[in-house]
Structure 1
Amino acid sequence: MANTATATASDAATPGSMGDVRRSNLALVLGTVAQSPAGFHLTRAQIAAATGLTKASVSSIVLDLLEAGILHEIGLNPQGERGRPGVGLELNPARGVMGMEINVDYIAAGATSLSGTVVVQEIRERDNRDTASGPVMAALASLAAEVRAAAAAKGMEVLGGGLAVPGLVDAGSATVITAPNLGWVDVKLDVAQLLPGLPLGVTLFNEANAAALAELAHGPHRKQDFLFISGEVGVGGGLVIRSELFTGPEGHAGEVGHIVVDPEGRPCSCGGTGCLETIAGQDAIFAAAGIEGKRQARSESMSALMEALAAEKPDAVLAVQRAGRSLGVAIASTSRVTNIRAVVLGGHFAVLEHWLRPPLVESLSKYAPGKILPENITTAAVGEGGALLGAAGSVVRSLLEAPHRLHS
């Protein structure tokens, strides 16, 4: 890594440049500790060698990070050093962040350590369809307070949070631009009420993008390009290219659920016609299978569908097969445009993989032969908590990139 410890002559003449160098070095040191292998605790001398910073600079920066509560000293580390062992460093396990999610039929909150370990997680079924944002946010604030208290009881202080919602968002203004399945359009959320008084605040995310980030961090695709497809009441997508989330100029790329797969099909909640969501969304599958998903809890509807599939009931089998074929059409179209060669299935697509995979593979071989091999179609490594983990992980990444926010 480049040495950022010394300012150039021109830098020195620029007001505030030394502060910029200090902030850059804080991030460099913290990032180096965060990226160290599990179970390996770098010492100050090892950090200096890895970053090119002087030992004095590293010691000063580490002291700042210790005082801010971001780093924690952990005994002596004899690994890889000659002579007297140094004191190892790690991300402070007593500090954490919270991921939260609002979806059509549930709310959820989970606290994780700065290294991504889930400490507390709660999911509460709740029908949020066509409900004003106020009551939903109030319910989530109550749940978040419970999770925050449970994390505190385990010795963890929550520093900030991320909120994932199933729709297009403007994170800067904490506005949901449109979330058709919630019935929200241009809804500004008071995210501060969810976790009041936290130094890092709360940031808004698209649910599928957050889940894709979790898969990038925790799944086996870290150095690949892949399309993450989230299956809930709606269908969302997160596009990862060169190990980075690609969101497009306005941040809304990856909306796989609204690719048209049946031009003569049913109207979609987005205002279009024949979108993938109208065939492969959770409610669409339940309806086609003869299961009244909107009238009972999500878990009950999914259990009923699984039982019907296991019993090989024709309506259920045909509903899932049609969803798999339509999903293949949407993925084929996406692969032609983006050149992605791997797909990760999340949500109900992962749950239904046994029945969904054959028609999906057949569809891909028909519409995009050779583009995505069957072995490159996998299910989410992080399970149903991907949006929570991704939203929380994004807050950690923002802290690693700008630790001065907490220190100052």
Structure 2
Amino acid sequence: MPADGGPGRVQDVRRQNLAVVLDSIQRTPRTTRAEIAASTGLTKASVSSLVTVLLDTGLVEEAGVARDGERGRPGSGLVLNRQRGALGAEINVDYLAVGVVDALGELRGHKVLERRPGGLDVVFGDLQELARAVAGEAKAAGIELLGGGLAVPGLVDPTRKLVLTAPNLGWQDAALERHLEALLPDSPLGVVLSNEANSAALAELWYGHGSSFGDYLYVSGEVGVGGGLIFESQLFAGPRGHAGEIGHVVVQPDGLKCGCGGRGCLETVAGQDAVFSAAGIQGATTADRMAALMHALRTGAPDAVRAVERAGHFLGIALVSAARMVNVSAVILGGHFAGLQNWIRPSLRQSLETYAPGLVPPDGVAFSELGQTAALRGAAGSRLREAFASPADLLN
């Protein structure tokens, strides 16, 4: 084991300093080497050497000139290279989605395929086709993909690349290692696995409403209902990585049986299928049914209005229980909850005030603006942040 000051220790310090310099460039676009040295306390010579390495990784590029002050020669501005990015993918109950997020956080491509779940080989066959198409478009646009992330609606073990259980997909102990490798086979960092709601919660932090809260509960509304917890701008997944499963908070003890095996879960009254069923909405695809529901709501159809009000009522009960347990006062609602916000907001607000006055104030409730891209944005963004935290890995 190397002693302090030995080669191993020097390499560790250099890796840390690379991340420090890259963080400075992220925070202050077009910053110069001299400005980085002043803000980080590193010597100008060290910064110059570290910037050379970052330029070699491709994460950073020089952009024009910026003057370091009134005296001295101009310095080159440094920015993140938007021609580097990550692939984000999502498997959900009724659709597959793939997109590319660049180093600046911009979505640079997005494709969705509506479908119902099936076996692993069938699902990943379709997902690989989508990934190839999106990756091909990225390559044509000059974007190099460093790695990727896949989000699924279930309990996952990212280390073992295993979906422990995904009731709405019908998956149990599903091993995904070979499927993840096939999604982006030539990327330097590979593809990682994550929970859909956790990824969406992080996407809100980086690209949505989350930065204004810091601490919040994110709730995703799909066929299932998922949740992700953010504390002090960090994801809190709990000791086994499964915290935030608000969709399986019991809100109606004598209610319907849930796919998780329990009874009366929030998902059974506020999930997409539950709302469609209560509203008497039918259709060939989820998009068809959502369009029919929206039309029914706009025309004031009583069954549709009652179904959404009922969902808002029980959603409020679940949010109160969760907010009291984890001591948060802000929530962000995504998926169909965001699409239905004009109709679900009144009953939700009334429920929150009835069961816990002031706990979650009106300005503590936000509706996502990321649409169907939240989970894949978060999955891709997590991979990019891993690269930012350890840029030297791109040179291995």
How high is the TM-score relative to the length of structure 2? 0.96
Partner of 2:280: 290
C-alpha displacement of 1:79: 6.1
From 123, 139, 148, the counterpart of 1:161: 148
Partner of 1:384: 372
Instruction: Confirm or deny that 1:232 pairs with 2:219.
Output: no
Mapped to 2, the partners of 1:44 and 1:147 lie a distance apart of: 35
Partner of 2:107: 118
Gaps of 5+ in 1: 1-8
Mapped to 1, the partners of 2:282 and 2:261 lie a distance apart of: 23
- Structure 1 residues 35 and 186 mapped into 2: Cα distance closer, same or farther (>3 Å)? same
Partner of 1:12: 5
Partner of 1:206: 195
Q: Name the aligned partner's letter for residue 147 of structure 1.
A: V
Mapped to 1, the partners of 2:70 and 2:159 lie a distance apart of: 45
Assess if the C-alpha contact under 8 Å between 1:224 and 1:242 holds in 2.
Answer: yes
C-alpha displacement of 1:21: 0.8
Mapped to 2, the partners of 1:174 and 1:81 lie a distance apart of: 54
Assess if the C-alpha contact under 8 Å between 1:288 and 1:316 holds in 2.
Answer: yes
SS of residue paired to 1:302: helix
Partner of 2:318: 330
C-alpha displacement of 1:10: 5.8
Question: Which sits farther off after the overlay, 220-229 or 363-372?
Answer: 220-229
Mapped to 1, the partners of 2:312 and 2:32 lie a distance apart of: 51
Q: How many positions carry a matched residue from both structures?
A: 392
Assess if the C-alpha contact under 8 Å between 1:11 and 1:17 holds in 2.
Answer: yes
Assess if the C-alpha contact under 8 Å between 1:218 and 1:381 holds in 2.
Answer: no
From 243, 255, 264, the counterpart of 2:254: 264
From 360, 367, 379, the counterpart of 2:355: 367
Mapped to 1, the partners of 2:188 and 2:3 lie a distance apart of: 34
Assess if the C-alpha contact under 8 Å between 2:338 and 2:367 holds in 1.
Answer: yes
Assess if the C-alpha contact under 8 Å between 1:212 and 1:228 holds in 2.
Answer: yes
Partner of 1:28: 20
Mapped to 2, the partners of 1:373 and 1:197 lie a distance apart of: 48
Cα deviation per residue 1:163-196 (whole Å; 9 max; x = unaligned)?
0111111111111111110000110112111111
Mapped to 2, the partners of 1:154 and 1:278 lie a distance apart of: 44
Instruction: Confirm or deny that 1:172 pairs with 2:162.
Output: no
Cα deviation per residue 1:245-291 (whole Å; 9 max; x = unaligned)?
11100010000100000000000001110000000000111111111
Instruction: Confirm or deny that 1:102 pairs with 2:95.
Output: no
C-alpha displacement of 1:374: 1.4
Mapped to 1, the partners of 2:82 and 2:339 lie a distance apart of: 33
SS of residue paired to 2:342: helix
Mapped to 1, the partners of 2:209 and 2:224 lie a distance apart of: 26
Assess if the C-alpha contact under 8 Å between 1:65 and 1:407 holds in 2.
Answer: no
Percent identical: 53
- Structure 1 residues 100 and 379 mapped into 2: Cα distance closer, same or farther (>3 Å)? same
Assess if the C-alpha contact under 8 Å between 1:341 and 1:372 holds in 2.
Answer: yes
SS of residue paired to 2:274: helix
Mapped to 2, the partners of 1:34 and 1:83 lie a distance apart of: 25
Partner of 1:185: 172
C-alpha displacement of 1:303: 0.3
Gaps of 5+ in 2: none
Assess if the C-alpha contact under 8 Å between 2:209 and 2:332 holds in 1.
Answer: no
Partner of 2:210: 221
